[in-house]
Amino acid sequence: MRPLERFFPPYKLRPGRPGDADGLLRVHQRAILILGRRVYSDAQVESWACGNTPDRYIEAMNEDGEAFEVAVARKTGVVAFCSRKDNEVRGLYVDPDWTRHGLGRLLLRRAEAAITAAGHGRVSIGASLTGLPFYEAEGYRVIRHRHWKTRGGLFIPAAEMEKAVLHNPGRKQAR
């Protein structure tokens, strides 16, 4: 992070909204297709990226109750996002041009805070192998390894992960 970025970051954080769907798709696709190739084959990343549409994000927000938080850059639009529902982080993706700026960590911690504020004592994540080292560094542990069926039909190795979080003792803890 450049010295002034601490005080004047080149992005702003805000709740995601349906109008962000195209940007969410762009970030999601680029992260899968570029960063995913570090650990998965070309066929696996193509299958994982296959068939996603902006409507999926709109449906997740409007019908499934998934909460999104986005990082929006002044010049390029959405550059990262995190989505959550109940005690689960459903997705955390950072555009490859914006990695190593602390956005993933910042969005994850904000999601954890929201999950904790809702009374949950644990955060769960279904992690790709791409994200596994990041989540382990953030205190998550692997519950079990599994294979996840991609939208394109191929299976990719992944992991179910979990982290205990401190909950507000004044609130009833959800399970």
In a domain, 118, yes or no: yes
> Which of 48, 20, 19 minimizes the C-alpha distance to 33?
48
CATH number of domain containing 58: 3.40.630.30
Q: 84-118, pLDDT tens digit by residue?
A: 999 999 999 999 999 998 999 999 999 999 999 99
In a domain, 78, yes or no: yes
pLDDT averaged over every residue in the chain: 92
Owning domain of residue 150: 7-164
In a domain, 1, yes or no: no
Choose the weakest-confidence range: 31-40, 112-121, 160-169.
160-169
Binned at pLDDT 50, 70 and 90, residue 166 comes out as: confident
In a domain, 15, yes or no: yes
Question: Quick one: pLDDT at residue 87?
Answer: 97
Dihedral sign (CA 143, 166, 85, 139): negative
Instruction: Give the count of domains, the chain.
Output: 1
In a domain, 174, yes or no: no
To the question of pTM greater than 0.85 for the whole model, the response is yes
In a domain, 85, yes or no: yes
In a domain, 2, yes or no: no
